[in-house]
Amino acid sequence: MNKFVNSYVVFDTETTGLKDQTDHIIEIGALKYINDELVEEFDVLINPMEDIPEIITNITGITNEMVAKEKNIEEVLPLFMEFIGELPVICHNAPFDIGFINASLKRCDMEIMKNETIDTVALAREYIPETYNYKLETLKKYFRLSYGSHRSVDDCKTTNFVYQECKKRALETVF
């Protein structure tokens, strides 16, 4: 795995719960960077075809009414996979997001994601050791970022900031 790349897609999911085998994706957000420049955004609410638990609505602000007329996962996944193409993907706590995408792909009889994956949790542990934990919210507060939380595109913006900060610190240690 290449630890740092210049062209990539940062993505995040919001879900109905924590278990990729039984819970469902309700939002996918992604930001595409080519040579470290933002070139395209993907932000889609998804109808999970079941009620969103109240606790999830309280965390994300995503309601049943918001997703009622949205596309289902079978319609969104091909668009998302086309968006990311062959680019490496970057996530904060990648096993969670990749797990949900792959479980959804399997349920839709589609091939699982094989993109190179970079996890900013692992990078933050290595390059931002001064924080007391590596949750995205903690890192956002530490860097005094004004992005929102628990919505996919905002979390992507924070994740990209963390990625770029780790990349900068890695380069500083080289020179």
Nearest to 11 by CA among 96, 122, 108: 96
Residue 87 in 3-state DSSP?
coil
2: CB partners within 8 A, 6+ apart: 88, 116
Count CA atoms closer than 13 A to 43's CA, side-chain side: 10
Cβ atoms of residues 88 and 2 within 8 Å: yes
Q: How far apart are CA 49 and CA 26, in angstroms?
A: 10
Q: How far apart are CA 65 and CA 123, in angstroms?
A: 37
Residues with active-site annotation: 150
Cβ atoms of residues 147 and 157 within 8 Å: yes
How would you classify the pairing of strands 8-15 and 37-45?
unpaired
CA angle 114, 29, 47 (to 5 degrees): 100
